[in-house]
């Protein structure tokens, strides 16, 4: 999608601090980290938010978690928090589905 920030990062039009890439997924460090480790895993396919995904996207979205766990294992990170914001009211600011992976500090619950 031409005016999507994350599509531009995936395509290399805007620089991103890449952590991982394969045919379907891209992961990069968050520009405003909320923990010592904070990266985002995104599908290369543009889907704006979880509530827009169709049944055909189930496997693709599920793969975000597999990729996140694999990257954490490679980084020897055992405890991590996974977050997906859906909608501006809960903090979604970039409308291309992304899984936040946060680690490296104690975290409270419930989240703010």
**What residues are labeled active site?**
98
Is residue 22 helix, strand or coil? coil
**Closest approach of Cβ 112 to Zn ion, in Å?**
27
Is residue 99 helix, strand or coil? strand
C-alpha 36/C-alpha 102 separation (Å) is 8
**Closest approach of Cβ 90 to ligand AMP, in Å?**
8
Among 23, 55, 93, 106, binds ligand AMP (CB under 6 A): 93
In the list Zn ion, ligand AMP, none, the entry touching 107 (Cβ below 5 to 8 angstroms by class) is none
- Report the 3 state secondary structure along 31-87: CCCCCCEEEEEEECCCCCCHHHCCHHHHHHHHHHHHHHHHHHHHCCCCCCEEECCCC
In the list Zn ion, ligand AMP, none, the entry touching 92 (Cβ below 5 to 8 angstroms by class) is ligand AMP
> Which residue, 22 or 90, has its beta carbon nearer to ligand AMP?
90
Residues 26-55 vs ligand AMP: string with x where CB under 6 A? --x-xxx-----------------------
């Amino acid at each position: 999608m031409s005016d999507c920030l994350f599509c531009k990062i995936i395509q290399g039009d805007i620089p991103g601090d890449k952590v991982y890439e394969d045919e379907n997924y891209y992961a990069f460090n968050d520009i405003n980290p909320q923990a010592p480790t904070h990266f985002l895993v995104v599908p290369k396919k543009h889907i704006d938010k979880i509530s827009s995904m169709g049944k055909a996207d189930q496997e693709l979205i599920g793969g975000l978690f597999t990729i996140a766990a694999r990257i954490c294992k490679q980084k020897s990170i055992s405890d991590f928090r996974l977050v997906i914001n859906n909608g501006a009211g809960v903090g979604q600011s970039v409308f291309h589905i992304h899984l936040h992976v946060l680690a490296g500090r104690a975290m409270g619950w419930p989240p703010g």
